[in-house]
Structure 1
Amino acid sequence: EVLTTDYVGQDTLLTDTDLARPSASGPMTVQTIIRGLLYVRTGNVGCPAEPDKRKAVDDMPSHSHIIRPREAISGFRGGSLSPRNIFQLNAGNTAQVHRLKMDEDHMRLYRDRIRADAVIPEEPNLNSQRRKLECMAAVRRREAKENSEAAESLGHAEEVRFTSEVKSNEEYKKAEGIASMLSLAITTQHLLYASLGSAEYMEFVLKNPFNVPQTVTIHSDDSELSVITDTEEWRYFKALTKTPTQLEENMFHEKEGAAGPAVYLRPKETVHIPLKYQSFTCSHTMATQGPSFLPSGKGAQTAKRNQSNIINAKTIKVTFKADDGKPMAICQVSVEPTPHAVDQTFRLYHPERCFLKKAIRLPLWHDPTETPDSSTHISVRCSDPNVICQTRMLAPEEPQDVYLKVPGSPSPHIKTFFVMVFTDKRMAAPSQIWQVYVHFLERVDISCVTGQRSCQSLVLRGKQTTRKIKCFSSHPKEAEVDPAGVFVLPPAAVQELQLKVQPWQAGSRFLYVNAVDMDQQRLVTAWLLCLNVHRPVLSKAFEVCVPVGDGRGSSRKISYTNPYTSSRTFVLRSDHPDLLQFKEQNFRIGGGETYTIGLRFAPSQSPGSAEILIYVNNLEEKTEETFCVKVSYS
């Protein structure tokens, strides 16, 4: 069901003495209108398989809560220490060193007794270049014979220095490559499918390979993947995932300034380290369904994400370091995001550059795992860290509200975020996920009276190109925009729009008007109409009784006298056109003459009462008089 909810503040009846001061506002009423039903049929058409483009992440084991390191390492194939070979699982233990091109060019120059900063003629033959340079060097040695020994010693020193730099660089690259390959031998990869708000539980089997006890420090390079140090939380997730492993209480201890929690292991001892991955950051765009994506990069976390983007595929490393600070084991988790289901969608409209404060009432939830007398613990999380989202614990069996505070943005910006509602204390999986759209619109304040038309000017400014614009109102029966059709907006032009508002219900209301580019089907500008609607001053009041169930209704007549000395044309309006119809909608009478207004009341099948207002307006829809008819159906 597609619903629209209007919040209307009821206003008290105005008298002649109340016109000089603003009316007092009564309680707020909520009107929910069913706009229609939306039927959705979905189907998974799949994705064509391409064997040549299989990624390493496709061969990883998944859907397993226990991560076991490999017992034995297969033989190395050998090869270079390039990053591409190091990234593979079985890169090689024998490596061929490749020098950089810049280093080779420098060594060729020094072998030829040429300085690196010397100017080399652009000739294709290297031997001719060498001969010319040697001749130049001979001429210089003949002209400065006494300084030849000093020049030769200086050149030899520069060559020795550069050679030592190249060798040290090669040794560093070789040591870095060997260290990467050795760390790869103790790395265990695990594929994890995660969705927004859901906690993914896993256990890593850690073994002390040494004959001496070790205190192992656990460090994760991403805060979304953490170690479960609380025993009760560990027990909860083990029961939730039905993991039949041993649980040890108070196994971890933490120190201030440490990289992470630490665990004490006896020689050759094996323990299970509980890990939990959970992410609350996401945007309104769903993850693309298709082949797996493995990011490439040099860092531990190879794929970075923005706070406003959907969770990207990324790689997280959990390092287990021994007492000497060297890694004992590495768990590399590849996260593959999966789309999440949205239970409800809220679309809110608010003035631009103002904080939105909203309370959404939650239904009564009962946790089947708890006793009937205990209350359900409800907690909420928001996907946008800039939005304040919280709930408060109230008395048992009392409804709870989710409070939102959203920072404002300029018009016509639309802010989107997700709200996750959890009903379990450990927040393992959200019970509901809401998608919230906040439309920030330009605010226009209008004070008017029911049944009477009020006019307001709106300014629309053109952009860089010519556009075809059409304006749409959320309540076309109460708000109209002139021009009503499509008009052309030139570049950098200013177009004045005439807004005509004629509400039929008193109170404080919000309407909105959208200016849409018809060619690109995009929103150009939006206005939020903040109406403060008062009831008119009543001239006369009537009471009418209509029989119930006869199917014919009832007819009545009331008289109206033209207060002007000249002839005038009047228009009859009613705030309940479904209950009351006029014999003539328009009539014209002379000055001082009396006209009889014919009323036709619709039949009713149930008893009750209604209050109907009759407006006598002129051709400009300004109210001349207002009659109140109280109808009793009996």
Structure 2
Amino acid sequence: GDLLAEEGGDALYRLEVEVRPKALVVDHSFRFFHGQNDFLKKRILVDAAASEPGGGWRTPPGGAPAGRQPRHAWCSDSSVIAQGSGHGQSDPGVEEVALKCRVGAAGTDRTFLVVVYEDKACARVFEVWRVSVHAVHRMDIQGLVGQTEREGCSLTLRSAEGPKRVTAASSHPLELSVDREGAIEVGPSLTEVPIRYTPMQPGRRDILVHFVEEGAPPGAAPVSAWLLVCRAKAPVVSKRYDIRIRAGRPASKKVLYTNPYSINRIFRLRTDKPSLLSFRDASQQLEVAPRATQSISLKFAPHPKGGVTEDIRVFVNDEEDKNEECLLITVEYV
């Protein structure tokens, strides 16, 4: 820049400034998977009492001033809304940064930076975040806790790059998995892939399923990605049992079950807390003659603490893994 004289406009001297931008130090990386052609709305919590993290280069000489103001956010992508929303609703010691952005078509993604400042003037940096948003296909599934849902549960795949063999990977494989063994052949035409959903807890859970080409290197983009928004309801409890067990020791108990049918039946057994309860029969099956009563042998794992009560559900399902009865066992550890 030039410094000019007031009269005549002659240059008194010239100052040349060489600027060498440096990459920002990223404190946290966030990765979100969201349904295509929708709006992503997220609130990220920030500890309101925290001081500047790690990087001494962010601390001004003499330390941070007292009486800190609410934090403010800036985003490198002008089409993304990023703003500090003050204190959280549940905890006054926690602040929130709200993000809102438009998600594109499935298979696309966008990455941007969010800088959180200590003051309204955006003079002191608190943290820098890298946010990645991946657009995926979305499907809603409803089910009953303890039973397997197959009807209406299928995904459609297509490979625009020619025939491929893909394998599925689920973020929650114990609850949702592909109902087919081995690799799946996909091509330019639509391929329907059946899935099975077996929720173990009531409520909502977002499950991500990736279909990756066989032999692809680690980190390769999936051929197709699905976000399954799953909602599960608890079944009606048909029988209740109260049991007292000494803490720190394993225990075995039996409960009786009567076959209400006039034919021989084989029932499948499940529990919503396998870490606390298992079945003596490794096959987790119960064969009962017509109108007969059979005992279900239960094995309780040792619980480290006494004075604790746990509610454990036992699901008695039919051959298709549909729920017949739900037994609620209340265990008191003494």
TM-score grouping bracket, smaller chain normalisation: 0.7 to 0.9
Q: What is the CA–CA distance in structure 2 between the aligned matches of 1:413 and 1:627, rounded to whole Å?
A: 46
Q: What is the CA–CA distance in structure 2 between the aligned matches of 1:435 and 1:214, rounded to whole Å?
A: 51
1:207 is displaced (CA, Å) by 4.7
Q: What is the CA–CA distance in structure 2 between the aligned matches of 1:548 and 1:415, rounded to whole Å?
A: 51
Letter in 2 for 1:351: G
Aligned to 1:115: none
What is the correspondence of 1:169-568 to structure 2 with a 5 Å cutoff? 206-208=3-5, 213=7, 335-364=19-48, 365-366=50-51, 368-371=63-66, 374-394=67-87, 398-428=93-123, 430-455=125-150, 456-490=153-187, 492-520=188-216, 521-549=220-248, 551=249, 553-568=250-265
Q: What is the CA–CA distance in structure 1 between the aligned matches of 2:51 and 2:20, rounded to whole Å?
A: 32
Q: Which has the higher strand share?
A: 2
Q: What is the CA–CA distance in structure 2 between the aligned matches of 1:214 and 1:582, rounded to whole Å?
A: 97
Flag structure 1 segments of 5+ consecutive residues without an equivalent: 1-203, 216-266, 271-328
Q: What is the CA–CA distance in structure 1 between the aligned matches of 2:29 and 2:17, rounded to whole Å?
A: 33
Query: TM-score under structure 1 normalisation?
Result: 0.47
Q: Which has more radius of gyration?
A: 1
1:344 is displaced (CA, Å) by 0.7
1:597 is displaced (CA, Å) by 0.7
Q: What is the CA–CA distance in structure 1 between the aligned matches of 2:160 and 2:226, rounded to whole Å?
A: 17
Contact 1:348 1:438 (8 Å CA) reproduced: yes
Q: Which has the higher helix share?
A: 1
Contact 1:421 1:433 (8 Å CA) reproduced: yes
Distance 1:419 1:268, change over 3 A: closer
Q: Secondary structure at the match of 1:563?
A: coil
Contact 1:352 1:443 (8 Å CA) reproduced: yes
Distance 1:575 1:268, change over 3 A: closer
Q: Secondary structure at the match of 2:299?
A: strand
Which deviates more, 610-619 or 413-422?
Answer: 413-422
Letter in 2 for 1:206: L
Q: What is the CA–CA distance in structure 2 between the aligned matches of 1:393 and 1:205, rounded to whole Å?
A: 44
Aligned to 2:327: 627
Q: What is the CA–CA distance in structure 2 between the aligned matches of 1:397 and 1:483, rounded to whole Å?
A: 49
Aligned to 1:588: 287
Distance 1:369 1:340, change over 3 A: closer
Q: What is the CA–CA distance in structure 2 between the aligned matches of 1:572 and 1:500, rounded to whole Å?
A: 17
1:409 is displaced (CA, Å) by 1.1
Query: TM-score under structure 2 normalisation?
Result: 0.86
Structure 1 stretches of at least 4 aligned residues deviating more than 6 Å after TM superposition = 267-270
Distance 1:537 1:394, change over 3 A: closer
Aligned to 2:55: none
Deviations 1:34-70 (A, max 9, x none): xxxxxxxxxxxxxxxxxxxxxxxxxxxxxxxxxxxxx
1:517 is displaced (CA, Å) by 1.9
Task: Give the superposed CA RMSD.
Answer: 2.4
Letter in 2 for 1:615: F
Q: What is the CA–CA distance in structure 1 between the aligned matches of 2:233 and 2:39, rounded to whole Å?
A: 27
Aligned residues: percent identity?
32
Q: What is the CA–CA distance in structure 1 between the aligned matches of 2:200 and 2:123, rounded to whole Å?
A: 49
Q: What is the CA–CA distance in structure 2 between the aligned matches of 1:568 and 1:332, rounded to whole Å?
A: 89
Letter in 2 for 1:509: R
1:620 is displaced (CA, Å) by 1.6
More RCO (CA 8 Å, sep 6+): 2
Letter in 1 for 2:289: G
Distance 1:579 1:268, change over 3 A: closer
Letter in 2 for 1:580: L
Q: Secondary structure at the match of 1:441?
A: strand
1:602 is displaced (CA, Å) by 1.6
Contact 2:2 2:11 (8 Å CA) reproduced: no
Q: What is the CA–CA distance in structure 2 between the aligned matches of 1:375 and 1:337, rounded to whole Å?
A: 28
Q: Secondary structure at the match of 1:569?
A: strand
How many residues get paired?
A: 313
Distance 1:268 1:579, change over 3 A: closer
Q: Secondary structure at the match of 2:232?
A: strand
Letter in 1 for 2:3: L
Contact 1:471 1:485 (8 Å CA) reproduced: no
Distance 1:214 1:538, change over 3 A: farther
Letter in 1 for 2:262: T
